[in-house]
Amino acid sequence: MKITLDRRTCTCWEPACETHFSWHFLREEITPIDCTLEILENGKEERTFLIKDRDGVDKELVVGKDNWAEAYDSWQLAWEKQQAGKG
């Protein structure tokens, strides 16, 4: 599944964003919220998030079985860890 989010105009406080991300996108049933631009089913088990972020950086976070718990706790820290692993 591929999910595109746009946080550029969102006024959600950062800790609330972390909770919203987990609750709306990492459970079995996905429930779109204000920042959701698109949800595409691509037949893959993992979920790929394309996040247009407030800092001007477009972020891609892939969430699968190996990092689900990390992403559930903090999508931002999970993204940072993925980025560190690419270097």
Residue-wise pLDDT tens digits, 21-66: 999 999 999 999 999 999 999 999 999 999 999 999 999 999 999 9
Q: Is the pLDDT of residue 85 over 90?
A: no
Query: What is the C-alpha to C-alpha distance for residues 62 and 50, in angstroms, rounded to an integer?
Result: 9
Query: What is the C-alpha to C-alpha distance for residues 70 and 40, in angstroms, rounded to an integer?
Result: 23
pTM of the model: 0.92
Spatial contact of 63 and 16, defined as CB atoms under 8 Å apart: no
Q: Is the pLDDT of residue 87 over 70?
A: no
